């Protein structure tokens, strides 16, 4: 939802001044973006609206399949981390009476799996998912991390 709000803000910020200046000049030729341009912007991995983006000539479907396979592999690895490292810690703590020592041990034993999950989320979504959609949309500007 935050991403969609940021995209809507960028779309409005880029287009409202153009429309207002054409109304002010009374030129009658206001450049209003087409629906297809807005839909492309919604799915493109960028937060800055432009009417046209650099495009690749072809789609590399092998690359797309590889990126989606990496997302799937990341999901399975995250499931493995939860099952082997997180769930046993909290299953044992739910059967014991509450004490501060047990809480601190659970927290410290969950730090490493939590960091691994954060790295997996970064890799799966920001690298694999966005690159797969960029390739399917033939989006050529792949400077996501800048």
Tokens of 78: 């995250």
The per-residue pLDDT string of the chain (146 residues; one tens digit each, 9 = 90 and over) reads 898 999 999 999 998 888 888 777 776 677 788 899 999 999 888 888 988 888 889 999 999 999 999 999 999 999 999 899 888 877 766 677 888 887 888 888 889 999 999 999 999 998 899 899 999 999 988 775 66
For the chain, which residues make up each domain, given as ranges? Answer: 1-53, 55-145
Q: Which residue has the tokens 């050529």?
A: 140
Say what the pLDDT of residue 19 is.
80
- Residue from 145, 142, 134 nearest 43 by CA: 134
The angle subtended at Cα 47 by Cα 130 and Cα 119, nearest 5°, is 40
């Amino acid at each position: 939802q935050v991403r969609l709000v940021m995209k809507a803000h960028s779309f409005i910020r880029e287009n409202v001044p153009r429309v207002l200046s054409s109304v002010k000049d009374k030129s009658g030729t206001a450049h209003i973006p087409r629906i297809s341009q807005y839909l492309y912007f919604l799915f493109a991995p960028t937060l800055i609206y432009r009417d046209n983006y650099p495009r690749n000539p072809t789609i590399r479907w092998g690359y797309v399949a590889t990126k989606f396979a990496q997302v799937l592999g990341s999901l399975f690895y995250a499931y493995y981390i939860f099952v082997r490292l997180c769930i046993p810690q909290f299953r044992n703590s739910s059967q014991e009476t509450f004490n501060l020592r047990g809480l601190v041990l659970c927290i410290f034993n969950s730090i490493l799996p939590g960091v691994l999950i954060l790295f997996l989320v970064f890799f799966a979504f920001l690298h694999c998912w966005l690159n797969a959609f960029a390739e399917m949309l033939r989006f050529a500007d792949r400077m996501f991390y800048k």
